Amino acid sequence: MLNISKNSIRKYIRLSDFKAYELVKQSQVKQLPLLVMLICFMVLLIGLFLPWTQNIDAKGYVTTRQPEQHPQAIQSVISGRISDWFKREGDHVNKGDTILYITDVKNEYFDPKLVERTNEQLLAKQSSLNAYDLKINALKKQYDALKSTYRLKRRQTFQKIEQARNKISMDSIDLKAFKNNLDIATNQLARTEDLYNKGLKSLSELQDKQYKQQSAQAKMSVQKNKLYNQRNSLSILNIELLAIEQEYADKLAKSQSDLQTAVSAKLEGIATVSKLENTLSNYKQRQNYYYITAPQTGFITKIIKKGIGETVKAGTDIAIIVPDEYDLAVEIYLKPNDLPLLSKGQHVRLRFDGWPAIVISGWPESSTGVFGGTIVAIDQFISQNGYYRVLISPDETEKQWPDQLRVGAGAEAFILLNEVPVWYEVWRQLNGFPPNFYQANKGINSLKLKPPIKSIK
């Protein structure tokens, strides 16, 4: 039974016939599962104390941070009809290469000599401005001549008025002299009459005095009329001065009005010339938009408007161009619960669709086929899907991302946090706590609150 000797008794005795042997055999079989279970428990217990790297996993896609490196639509600035294509889908184009040619669909641009005719209108209007300049100069000279004539006539009239005033002064003096002579003649006549009545004077002497008195009376009457006529002449000259002022005021106003009309017409001509220049420039610039060119170097990935003769409106997408050089990044979305644990510069592990990888999230050093990244931007406002957007750029200290990677490819990110035992991570997952539970609570307690506003007594 102990197999000490080389001589076996199995051919002489069947051990199964002995009950004791069967009991010993059954007891040995029952100990094996217990031993296996004990070994598994020990392995599990040891595994609970192994280090585990906490992480936050999220899915996203490959994008680019530079706005000019995103796929963009090629649009037409003007409405038109597709006349000819020069590029096809998948073609590589350089910046400024012609992609297609369109023609106008608006009737105001149908004239093939539109630019030449507009230029002729502009030249004609510019020539009219020269005529307006000549007219303005002539009206200015006319206005100056009227002002000179007005001053001359006004001066002449003032001289005549001065002469009339002098004559009135002289006639007034003469009238006083004639009045004195009349008074003397009247006195002499009265004395002569008194002496004649007394017989001391003769009749001839009396008649002589009467004649002298009447002659003095007549001269005084003539001088009065002369003085009256001079005063009338002065009034007439004053009226003539007013008439001259009124006449030349009207003429000067009319001349000034004609001058302002000419200036206004010239300004309208300048505005028309400026408008025609603007229109001519727009026509010339519009002809440049007939050729739709590539805004940047890249590949034509999709043509939206395809048919010859198809009409496109201004601002309508015609084709999609993707730049051939771009800086890749990954855009992911995280739950608000995980946002307090993130910061710029934090390390991230990435797995891209189409690249085989073995990912062990808790032991990143054991993963293969993954790439490194760094958080460069975190949105300050929540997105419409209820998550926060995070941008990840390549980590320059690790291997480069695949050259075949394209914008829009799927990606899965593992944001690495603290290193904890496995049992802690299991406990955290069962309780639904955030990855960095205690640190998050500590951060909340360390918030600085403003003191309450004191009430006004």
CATH of domain 68-104+292-323: 2.40.50.100
| pLDDT single digits (tens) 117-148 | 888 888 888 888 888 888 889 989 998 998 99
The residue whose two tokens read 């051939």 is 324
Q: Considering only residues 314 and 5, tell me which one the structure prediction assigns the higher pLDDT.
A: 314
What is the C-alpha to C-alpha distance for residues 141 and 22, in angstroms, rounded to an integer? 147
**What residue ranges do the domains of the chain occupy?**
1-48, 52-65+327-443, 68-104+292-323, 114-288
Q: 208: exposed, middle or buried (C-beta count within 10 Å: 0-12, 13-18, 19+)?
A: middle
Reply yes or no on whether the pLDDT at 1 is more than 70. no
| pLDDT single digits (tens) 373-390 | 888 888 888 888 888 899
Contacts of 19 (CB under 8 A, 6+ apart): none
Confidence category of residue 448, pLDDT binned at 50, 70, 90? very low
Query: 86, 100 in Cβ contact below 8 A?
Result: yes
Count, residues in the chain? 457
CATH of domain 114-288: 1.10.287.1490
Query: 150, 248 in Cβ contact below 8 A?
Result: yes
Q: Considering only residues 451 and 261, tell me which one the structure prediction assigns the higher pLDDT.
A: 261
CATH of domain 52-65+327-443: 2.40.30.170
Query: 47, 423 in Cβ contact below 8 A?
Result: no
Reply yes or no on whether the pLDDT at 272 is more than 70. yes
Q: Residue 146: which of 154, 157, 134 has the closest Cα?
A: 154
User: In the prediction, which pLDDT does 454 show?
Assistant: 40
**179: Cα separation from own chain's centroid:** 95
Confidence category of residue 455, pLDDT binned at 50, 70, 90? very low
What is the C-alpha to C-alpha distance for residues 335 and 402, in angstroms, rounded to an integer? 28
Reply yes or no on whether the pLDDT at 271 is more than 80. yes
User: In the prediction, which pLDDT does 10 show?
Assistant: 63
* Top-confidence range, 306-310, 327-331, 396-400: 327-331
Report the share of the chain in percent with pLDDT over 70.
81
Confidence category of residue 363, pLDDT binned at 50, 70, 90? low
User: In the prediction, which pLDDT does 316 show?
Assistant: 86
The helix-helix angle for 114-198 and 203-288 (nearest 10°) equals: 170
| pLDDT single digits (tens) 157-215 | 888 888 888 888 888 888 888 888 888 888 888 888 888 888 777 788 888 888 888 88
Mean pLDDT confidence for 341-366: 70
3-state secondary structure 344-371: CCCEEEEEECCCCCECCCCCHHHCECCE
Mean pLDDT confidence for 400-405: 83
DSSP state of 17: G
User: In the prediction, which pLDDT does 35 show?
Assistant: 76
Q: Which pTM was predicted?
A: 0.53
Backbone angles phi, psi at 61, to 5 degrees: -150, 165
Reply yes or no on whether the pLDDT at 19 is more than 80. no
Please name every residue paired with 321 in a beta bridge, in sequence order, or none if there are none: 72, 300
What is the C-alpha to C-alpha distance for residues 406 and 163, in angstroms, rounded to an integer? 108
Reply yes or no on whether the pLDDT at 334 is more than 50. yes
Average pLDDT of the chain is 80
Q: Considering only residues 28 and 441, tell me which one the structure prediction assigns the higher pLDDT.
A: 28
Backbone angles phi, psi at 126, to 5 degrees: -65, -35
Reply yes or no on whether the pLDDT at 457 is more than 50. no
The H-or-E segment that residue 11 falls in is none
Reply yes or no on whether the pLDDT at 54 is more than 80. no
Q: Considering only residues 216 and 32, tell me which one the structure prediction assigns the higher pLDDT.
A: 216
User: In the prediction, which pLDDT does 368 show?
Assistant: 59
Structure tokens at 433: 């706590």
